[in-house]
Structure 1
Amino acid sequence: MPHKSHSARTLDANALKSFAHPLRLRIYELLDEHGPSTSTRLAGLLGQNTGATSYHLRELSRHGMIEVVPGMGRGKEKYWRIRPGGFSYGDPPDDLETAGAMDVLLDDLVRQRGAELARWRKAAHEAPAEWGAAGAFGRRSLRLSAEETARMRDEVFEVLERYRALSDGRADSSPEEGTGRVVVHFDVLPLGALPEEPGD
Structure 2
Amino acid sequence: MPRKSFSARTLGANALKSFAHPLRLRLFELLDEHGPSTATRLAALLGQNTGATSYHLRELARHGIIEVVPGMGRGKEKFWRVTPGGFSYGDPAEDPEAASALTYLLDDLVRQRGAELNRWRSEEERTREEWVRASVLARRSLRLTVEEASGLRDEVLAVLERYRGLSDGRAQAAQAEPAAPPPGTGHVVVHFDLFPVGETHQEETP
Does the 8 Å CA contact 2:12/2:91 hold for their aligned counterparts? no
Aligned residues: 196
Partner of 1:180: 186
- Could you tell me which amino acid in structure 2 is paired with residue 70 of structure 1? P
Give, in angstroms, the shift of residue 2 of structure 1.
4.7
Give, in angstroms, the shift of residue 171 of structure 1.
1.1
Q: 1:43-81 CA deviation, whole Å, 9 max, x = no partner?
A: 001100000000000000000000111111111100000
Q: In structure 2, what is the Cα distance between the partners aligned to 1:139 and 1:92?
A: 30
Q: In structure 1, what is the Cα distance between the partners aligned to 2:18 and 2:24?
A: 8
Partner of 2:199: 193
CA RMSD of aligned residues (A): 1.3
Identity across aligned pairs (percent)? 71
2:168 paired with 1:168: yes
- Could you tell me which amino acid in structure 2 is paired with residue 163 of structure 1? Y
Question: TM-score if structure 2 supplies the norm length?
Answer: 0.92
Partner of 1:27: 27
Give, in angstroms, the shift of residue 195 of structure 1.
5.7
Question: TM-score if structure 1 supplies the norm length?
Answer: 0.95
Query: Residue 116 and residue 161 in structure 1: after superposition, are their counterparts in 2 closer, same or farther (change >3 A)?
Result: same
Q: In structure 2, what is the Cα distance between the partners aligned to 1:124 and 1:90?
A: 35
Partner of 1:109: 109
2:54 paired with 1:48: no
Does the 8 Å CA contact 1:5/1:90 hold for their aligned counterparts? no
Give, in angstroms, the shift of residue 93 of structure 1.
3.1
Gapped regions of structure 2 (runs ≥ 5): 175-179
